[in-house]
């Protein structure tokens, strides 16, 4: 197969932990051709979606890990599969890219994750579709409603709807002297909606990343445990990742959501679960393949390419 990955610049990859890197490595190891497309290289002309794509060869070395051929113009229909792995932020340029990928799908291109599926699932708000699995949650821009929610639950998390890696996530208690400024800052004085969730004590045991591939759960999750004195378990915020087998509750959530998300074109999904509660549904560029594989007997990249090959039959 010829597989094109829509990615950030390859020179920015941290290959010791990058999930897209191990996807590429596994694909190449099986004899598939691997191509890289940066977001700005996508374009539409003469009723066709095209891109400047570079065929890349992984070297197996950590210092110079890839060799890239000169980028050439390709119709996206030249590729058997296009895998959207551009990292957030989910800004308008990202949205425009999904429009182009959706047009390519209309030409017959197989895109993973499907463009509309990505657009339709804000990684914070998508949990509203599965309310029976979530903690008490409020989405609003109104300070009075946020204060009422805090008064009811006493200890809450406030976060933007477009954040990633734990950025701008605040834990707020009823007696916090900074409540007003936190609300004003996050909502931009009432101009932006944010999410409030009841604080979950189970965060001490980790914010679990559960991976779904083609609607089915990977048997191990990565519990991201906050460092001392920190609320957030995100690895980008200094959390420690520990691979664990899925619990019965994890499996319940995964089996309930997996088929529904897969039906909407979401081939790879990262569910975030704290304790027994679903907190986020990650669809743009889910990670944690390497951390899980390194700590268990489960080769997640192999599971991913297995499922991708099955999709292409």
pLDDT at 43: 98
pLDDT at 237 over 80: no
Name the CATH topology of 2-113. Rossmann fold (3.40.50)
**Spatial CA neighbour of 127 closest among 196, 74, 173:** 196
- Active site residue: 209, 234, 250, 291, which one? 209
Q: Which of 207, 208, 224, 250 is catalytic?
A: 224
110 is catalytic: no
Report the percent of the chain where pLDDT is more than 90: 91
Choose the catalytic residue: 18, 250, 280, 291.
280
Q: Looking at residue 164, what is its pLDDT?
A: 79
Set 232, 234, 250, 291: catalytic member:
232
Confidence band (pLDDT; 50, 70, 90) for 208?
Answer: very high
Q: Does domain 136-199 have CATH number 3.30.1490.20?
A: yes
Residue 220 has what pLDDT? Answer: 98
Among 113, 122, 234, 282, which one carries the catalytic annotation? 282
Domains of the chain, residue spans: 2-113, 136-199, 202-307
Mean pLDDT in the chain?
96
Model pTM?
A: 0.94
Selected catalytic residue, list 25, 86, 159, 198 = 159
Q: What is the reported pLDDT for 232?
A: 73
The dihedral built from the CA positions of residue 120, 122, 127 and 128, taken in this order, carries a sign that is negative
**Residue 228 pLDDT:** 78
Annotated active-site residue 80? The verdict is no
The strand pairing partners of 155, in sequence order, are 173
Catalytic residue among 18, 102, 250, 272: 272
Q: Does residue 236 carry a pLDDT above 90?
A: no
Q: What are the angstrom distances between the C-alpha of 93 and each of 42, 54, 122?
A: 11, 21, 15
pLDDT interval class at 203 (50, 70, 90) = very high
Binned at pLDDT 50, 70 and 90, residue 235 comes out as confident
- The question of whether 159 is a catalytic residue gets the answer yes
Q: Rounded mean pLDDT of 253-272? A: 98
pLDDT at 231 over 80: no
Across 128-141, average pLDDT: 97
Q: How many Cβ atoms from other residues are within 10 Å of residue 135's Cβ?
A: 19
- Contact assessment for residue 4 and residue 82, using Cβ atoms and an 8 Å cutoff: yes
Q: What is the pLDDT of residue 168?
A: 86
Mean local confidence (pLDDT), 16-25? 98
- Tell me if residue 124 is catalytic: yes
- Mean pLDDT on 265-277: 98
3-state secondary structure 140-182: ECCHHHHHHHHHHHCEEEEEECCCCCCCCCEEEECCCCCHHHH
Query: What's the token pair of residue 266?
Result: 């979401």
Among candidate residues 94, 15, 6, 97, the one with its CA nearest the CA of residue 54: 6
Give me the architecture of the 202-307 domain, per CATH.
2-Layer Sandwich (3.30)
pLDDT at 310: 97
250 burial via Cβ count (<10 Å: 0-12, 13-18, 19+): buried
What integer pLDDT is reported at residue 238 of this predicted model? Answer: 79
pLDDT 10s digits, 148-158: 999 999 999 99
Look up 230 and say whether it is catalytic: no
Q: Cα separation of 286 and 250, whole Å? A: 17
User: Which pLDDT band holds residue 313 (cuts at 50, 70, 90)?
Assistant: confident
pLDDT at 8: 97
């Amino acid at each position: 197969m010829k597989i094109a990955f829509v990615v950030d610049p390859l020179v920015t990859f941290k290959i010791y932990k990058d999930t897209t890197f191990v996807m590429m490595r596994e694909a190449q190891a099986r004899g598939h051709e691997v191509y890289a497309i940066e977001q700005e290289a996508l374009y539409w002309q003469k009723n066709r979606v095209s891109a400047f794509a570079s065929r890349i060869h992984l070297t197996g070395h950590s210092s110079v890990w890839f060799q890239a051929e000169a980028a050439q113009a390709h119709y996206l229909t030249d590729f058997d599969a296009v895998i959207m792995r551009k990292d957030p932020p989910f800004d308008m340029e990202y949205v425009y890219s999904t429009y182009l990928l959706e047009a390519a799908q209309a030409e017959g291109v197989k895109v993973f994750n499907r463009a509309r599926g990505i657009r339709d699932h804000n990684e914070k708000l998508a949990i509203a579709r599965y309310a029976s699995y979530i903690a008490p949650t409020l989405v609003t821009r109104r300070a009075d409603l946020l204060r009422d929610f805090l008064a009811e639950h006493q200890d809450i998390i406030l976060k933007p709807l477009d954040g990633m890696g734990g950025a701008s996530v605040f834990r707020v208690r009823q007696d916090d002297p900074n409540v007003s400024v936190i609300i004003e800052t996050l909502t931009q004085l009432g101009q932006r909606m944010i999410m409030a969730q009841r604080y979950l004590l189970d965060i001490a045991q980790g914010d679990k990343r559960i991976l779904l591939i083609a609607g089915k759960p990977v048997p191990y999750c990565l519990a991201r445990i906050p460092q001392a004195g920190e609320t957030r378990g995100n690895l980008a915020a200094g959390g420690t990742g520990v691979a664990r087998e899925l619990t019965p509750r994890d499996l319940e959530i995964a089996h309930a959501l997996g088929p529904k998300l897969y039906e909407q074109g979401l081939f790879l999904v990262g569910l975030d679960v704290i304790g027994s509660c679903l907190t986020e549904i990650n669809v743009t560029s889910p990670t944690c393949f390497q951390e899980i594989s390194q700590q268990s007997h489960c080769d997640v990249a192999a599971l991913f390419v297995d499922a991708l090959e099955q999709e292409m039959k």
